[in-house]
Amino acid sequence: MAAPSILIIDDEPDLLELFRAALRKLRYRVLTASRGDVGWQMMQEEPPVLVILDVAMPYPDGLELLRVVRADARFDATRVMILTAVPSRVSKDDAALVDVMLSKPVTPRALEQAVVNLIGM
C-alpha cells in the first residue's frame, strides 16, 4: 500500500519544487499540481491527508477549491492549509474552513513545521 499523500496546488513552478523538496523527508508522498482543476482531479483519484492550496491561482482559485473540497464528504478527513500573499482576501467564512493559513512568503522550514504540527511526521 502506498504511503499517504500531501498534495500541493500552486501555479508557481519554483515554489512547487521548493515546497516538494522541503516536505520530501516526511513519511508522506508529496504530489503537486500547477492548476486547481488538475489538483481537484488528483484529489478525486486519491484523497490526500493534506492539501496545500495557493489562494491566487487560475480557475478555480484556492478559495473556490477550498469550498468545493469542504462541501464533499469524501474529503472530511483531509486537512487543508492555504497559502496567501494577501491574507485580507480570505473571508472569515473561508478562514473557518481551513486548518492552517500561512502568509507568503513562506520559508520551506516554516512550511515543513506547519505540516508536522498539523499531521505529524
Task: Count how many domains the chain has.
Answer: 1
Angle at which helices 108-119 and 13-23 cross, to 10°:
50
CB atoms within 10 A of CB 27: 8
Nearest to 34 by CA among 18, 54, 5: 54
Q: What is the CATH number of the domain that holds 51?
A: 3.40.50.2300
* Residue 85 CB-half CA count within 13 A: 5
Domain containing residue 70? 5-119
What pLDDT is attached to residue 1?
60
Residue at 109: amino acid letter? R
pLDDT in tens, 9-39: 999 999 999 999 999 888 899 999 999 999 9
Cα Rg, the chain, nearest whole Å: 13
CB atoms within 10 A of CB 7: 23
pLDDT in tens, 60-109: 999 999 999 999 999 999 999 999 998 988 999 999 999 999 999 999 99
Integer Cα distance of 86 and 104 in angstroms: 8
Residue at 53: amino acid letter? L
